[in-house]
Chains A and B, each alone.
Chain A
Amino acid sequence: MYSTETLKRFKNPEFVGDMENPDAVGEIGNFKCGDVMKVYLKIKDDRIEDIKFETYGCVAAIASTDMMCELVKGKTLDEAYEMSNQEIVNGLKDLPPVKVHCSILGTRSLRDAIDKYREGISEK
């Protein structure tokens, strides 16, 4: 059902874990409805210098968020914000259609983190 690339990432995700003193944290989902995703960002000169995630999630959630992290690392916040879910699915080679909803948790919590970061900046 899952592609080899998806399983490989799921089993050995590179970007899992929490982060000390992140510049921004995004979170999506809740305990009740299933998967939960938390993304941590280190931001320098408007670029994503480092990214980590933690999840209460399935195989697809873990693999696709790991893929997303690899794709956005080093990108500007604007570029990262605009990244489409299709790029992640392409990166994983394939994802079963019913699993796409699990894979958007990563991008949604990334956007949440960027939103919060920008709000914080504008408040300062």
Chain B
Amino acid sequence: MMYVYLDNGATTQVDPRVTGKIIKYMNDRYGNASSLHFKGREAKKALDKARHTIASSINARADEIYFTSGGTEGNNLILKGVAFANREKGNHIITTKVEHKCVLESCKWLEKQGFKITYLDVDEEGFVDIEQLKNAISDRTILVSVIHGNNEIGTINDLKEIGRICGEKGVYFHSDACQSYTKVAIDVQEMPVDLLTLNAHKIHGPKGVGAIYVRDGVKIEGWQHGGFHEMGIRAGTENIHGIVGFAEAVKLSLSSKHISYMTRLRDKLIDGVMTRIPYVRLNGPRGEKRLCNNAHFSFKFIEGEAINGLLDDYGICGSTGSACSEKTLEPSYVLKSLGLNHEMMNGSLRMTLSRFTTEEEIDYVLEVLPLVIRRLREISPFKEEQHVFNRDA
């Protein structure tokens, strides 16, 4: 049977060339970058080189990059670190309703510490409401945090425009770029963004490694205290093999060829689903403002966990935002923010590609998915509704 991994938004296969580097640094170049002997210097050199690779991938300076244990830590560090370092300026932070959980939970925690948070709405395609943002900024605002590429529906927010607004008002601008990194070109000289969160495991690197970009001069306070690692912002012996793996993954991912390849397959998948299956809605925008690897649908009359359960039987990995798939038994708050009704939220299916996805795999999915949807609709009690739609169609 064919195995098709279309859950690259959750995590990706590690590129074997990345694994090779990691093993080399675990087996042979295991030094501590703080040590003065040659083993330490070897590690320090690799650390510097990796920092340089990440920096140049977004046109930043090496001393503006700090390594972390991944996206969750990066977002926690930035939100809490900027909030507490700028308390004398104000206590207000602006974010959106469609951020990753680690941003929203950090904000909730900050509320308990006395900070005020504004959660911006998004439109039906998932774009942040710019007018609402402009009105929300006050002289007490210290930080605006808006996700770059949305992890569920793939919407890409305009960092240039949002950053310009924040810049005019003298407010720091942060963006969580875990999903968009290397899939959308990021240039911090062109984009007025002050802080970014990046991680490795969405781009064929290892889990548990990431980085933040902090523009020179931005006030941020570290949380993890200890030795003087990461320029005093984040203590702890550097995860050299992970960091080297991350940098290798970045080098291998940075190519417009990968972007156009994934875009073509994504559109083949989206067009195929929309034409072969009735009563389906594409969530998120089409075209350039959608992550090149994201497809997200809602199917009427059926439930998303069941869709994924049958796909699993055909060797296809996807995901859903349905209530039954969540431990909270609440459908995805991202889909709720789009204004979808319960039926459309619960009937959702996300398929996220990678540069390793093949044309044959997409063909296979386009063959199997209509069967799966039909099978579940056949046992759905919403027969009459289906007939009504059939007549209307």
Chain A residues within CB distance 8 Å of chain B: 7, 10-11, 13, 16-18, 27, 31-38, 53-62, 98-99, 101-102
13 contacts between A and B (CB under 8 A): A10-B309, A17-B379, A18-B383, A31-B342, A31-B382, A33-B342, A35-B324, A57-B303, A57-B324, A59-B305, A59-B324, A61-B303, A61-B324
**B-side contacts of A16, CB under 8 Å:** 378-379
User: B13 contacts the other chain (Cβ, under 8 Å)?
Assistant: no
Pair count A-B, CB < 8 A: 72
Total residues of chain B contacting the partner, CB 8 A:
25
CB distance A56 to B313 under 8 Å? no
In the assembled complex, the Cα of A105 lies from the Cα of B108 at a distance in Å of 35
CB distance A34 to B342 under 8 Å? yes
**B-side contacts of A7, CB under 8 Å:** 309
User: B310 contacts the other chain (Cβ, under 8 Å)?
Assistant: yes
**B-side contacts of A35, CB under 8 Å:** 303, 324
Given A31-B342, A32-B342: A11 and B309 interface contact (C-beta under 8 Å): yes
Given A34-B342, A54-B379: A62 and B306 interface contact (C-beta under 8 Å): yes
CB distance A58 to B303 under 8 Å? yes
The residue on A at minimum CB distance from B382 is: A56
Given A16-B379, A17-B379: A56 and B301 interface contact (C-beta under 8 Å): yes
CB distance B305 to A27 under 8 Å? no
Chain B residues within CB distance 8 Å of chain A: 301-303, 305-306, 309-310, 313, 322-325, 327, 329, 331, 341-343, 346, 378-383
CB distance A58 to B306 under 8 Å? yes
In the assembled complex, the Cα of A16 lies from the Cα of B303 at a distance in Å of 16
In the assembled complex, the Cα of A32 lies from the Cα of B343 at a distance in Å of 7
The residue on B at minimum CB distance from A97 is: B327
* Distance to closest chain B CB from A48 (angstroms): 19
CB distance A34 to B324 under 8 Å? yes
Given A34-B346, A57-B306: A11 and B313 interface contact (C-beta under 8 Å): yes
* Distance to closest chain A CB from B345 (angstroms): 9
**A-side contacts of B379, CB under 8 Å:** 13, 16-17, 53-55, 62
Given A55-B379, A56-B303, A101-B329: A34 and B323 interface contact (C-beta under 8 Å): yes
**B-side contacts of A57, CB under 8 Å:** 303, 306, 324
The residue on B at minimum CB distance from A101 is: B329
In the assembled complex, the Cα of A2 lies from the Cα of B380 at a distance in Å of 22
**A-side contacts of B329, CB under 8 Å:** 34, 98, 101
* Distance to closest chain B CB from A28 (angstroms): 10
The residue on A at minimum CB distance from B343 is: A31
CB distance B381 to A36 under 8 Å? yes
In the assembled complex, the Cα of A7 lies from the Cα of B310 at a distance in Å of 9
CB distance B381 to A59 under 8 Å? no
Given A10-B309, A11-B310: A55 and B346 interface contact (C-beta under 8 Å): no
* Distance to closest chain B CB from A4 (angstroms): 13
**A-side contacts of B342, CB under 8 Å:** 31-34
Give the interface centre of A32, A33, A37, A56 by most chain B CB atoms within 10 Å: A56
Query: A55 contacts which of B323, B341, B380 (Cβ < 8 Å)?
Result: B380
**B-side contacts of A36, CB under 8 Å:** 381-382
**B-side contacts of A58, CB under 8 Å:** 303, 305-306, 309, 322, 324-325
In the assembled complex, the Cα of A38 lies from the Cα of B329 at a distance in Å of 21
**A-side contacts of B346, CB under 8 Å:** 34
Top 3 closest pairs, chain A to chain B, by CB:
A58-B324, A58-B305, A38-B381
CB distance B323 to A54 under 8 Å? no
In the assembled complex, the Cα of A62 lies from the Cα of B306 at a distance in Å of 8
* Distance to closest chain A CB from B258 (angstroms): 33
CB distance B381 to A55 under 8 Å? yes
CB distance A60 to B324 under 8 Å? yes
